[in-house]
Amino acid sequence: MKIRKEIRAADKILADATSQLPFSLINPINASYAKKVFMSNKSKNPTLKYTLPTTKLLALRQKLSSIAIEERDFLDTIIVERQRELIRHVDLLNSLGCFDFTEKSVKVFGLPSKKLINKAYRILNDKLNLKPAKKILKKDAVKILMENLRRFNLDYKIKNKDLVTSCSVESDKKLIILKQKERFSKNFINRLIVHEIGTHAFRYENGKKQELQIFKKGLAKYLITEEGLAVYNEERFGLLKKVFLQNYAGRVIAVNTAQKNSFFKTFRELRRFFDKNKAFQLTLRAKRGLVDTSLPGGFSKDYIYLDGYYQVKNFVSRGGNINDLYFGKIGLKDVKFVKELKLKKPDLLPESFTLMEKNG
């Protein structure tokens, strides 16, 4: 694959910018305290606090804006599209805690369609009789995770941290982060292996072998495909229990409700389907980015898990090859053109994993 000098230069700028953007700052630093206060007085919408960006975002935006590529072929297009997307990400982080945060979030992630919202409600209205899953010791969870990492020659570390989510993977830092003081079921750990390692880490590592860094860092709009693929992989390996599908559906409803309502009203809507702890977690995820959560709006990303899942299922049902999504962090819209580029074939594919016995 012949790559022009200006494409390589732009690719480096995009890769550096992706590494420098502090995406984790979207998570409030007082989540535990906010939950304690809210649970003691649910009519009081929590005030969320954030660590302000230390990265010089203005300088980063100027660097991204300096890319001047004329769109002549697919490589030009993916560079320009990612440039525009990263500029929108910079603007989003710059607006953290500000009045226009919601608007900036919608520009990056969009909003769920009415069709998706209706699907989410149908999933949630299918009542479950749940038995509490048996939790395992954290050391046993770490052991099986490390076994899979070694099996695929992935030199990743596992750390504990106070997270809004249960788990997070930072592939560029070779890091898997588990929520502090959290205990997990065997099924959750199996899902984590397939979702985080078999999707996020695999796509990153395969992308790292390509000539351009954009394939490991992510093309524009790759994320909805990546999260959808992760959920689809859970289903492929028989791990997508209805309770987990309902969690993804709950995220859609949380995003949709939060756009026009306060924290309390969003929480109240979710309490129709979830216990108070889960309803709080889903609401908090959807109201991230705001300080005063009595206001409507918030972080609109969370609907993409369910939306992407249906998109990937549709891709496969129409004869698409799931392995074509493993050339790197690409989107469904990129598959046709990526195949024409004759990239290096992916080494890591989600064919089999070492999973725990599925009895909890």
pLDDT digits (tens, 9 = 90+) for 279-331: 999 999 999 999 999 999 999 999 999 999 999 999 999 999 999 999 999 99
- 349 assigned to some structural domain: no
- 351 assigned to some structural domain: no
- 353 assigned to some structural domain: no
User: Of the ranges 154-158, 185-189, 257-261, which is most confident?
Assistant: 257-261
- 149 assigned to some structural domain: yes
What pLDDT, on the 0 to 100 scale, is given for residue 352?
A: 75
- 356 assigned to some structural domain: no
Amino acid at 7: I
253-282 burial by CB neighbour count: b if 16+ within 10 A, else e?
A: bbbbbbbebbbbbbbebbeebbeeebbbbb
Alpha carbons 152 and 161: distance in angstroms, whole number: 25
- 354 assigned to some structural domain: no
Question: Measured over all CA atoms, what is the biggest interatomic distance in the chain, rounded to whole angstroms?
Answer: 62
Alpha carbons 232 and 305: distance in angstroms, whole number: 10
Question: Is residue 296 within 8 Å of 259, Cβ to Cβ?
Answer: yes
DSSP character for 231?
A: H
Q: Which residue has the higher pLDDT, 129 or 103?
A: 103
C-beta atoms surrounding 2 within 10 Å: 6
Question: Is residue 154 within 8 Å of 201, Cβ to Cβ?
Answer: yes
Q: Region 18-35: what's the mean pLDDT? A: 92
What pLDDT, on the 0 to 100 scale, is given for residue 360?
A: 46
CA distances from 332 to 205, 211, 227, 303, 313 (A): 18, 20, 12, 17, 11
* Lookup: tokens for 143: 């052991």
Q: Name the percent of the chain in helix, strand, coil, to the closest 5.
A: 60, 5, 35
Question: Is residue 141 within 8 Å of 277, Cβ to Cβ?
Answer: no
Q: Compute CA 244 distance to the chain's CA centroid, rounded to the nearest angstrom.
A: 15
Sign of CA dihedral 85, 86, 87, 90: positive
pTM for this one? Answer: 0.92
Question: Is residue 262 within 8 Å of 295, Cβ to Cβ?
Answer: yes
Number of domain units in the chain: 1
Q: Can you give the residue range of the structural domain that contains 159?
A: 5-340
Alpha carbons 211 and 34: distance in angstroms, whole number: 45
Per-residue model confidence as pLDDT tens digits over 62-104: 999 999 998 888 999 999 999 999 999 999 999 999 999 999 9
Question: Is residue 219 within 8 Å of 329, Cβ to Cβ?
Answer: yes
* Lookup: tokens for 132: 């509490």
- 91 assigned to some structural domain: yes
- 350 assigned to some structural domain: no
Mean pLDDT of the chain: 92
Alpha carbons 251 and 298: distance in angstroms, whole number: 13
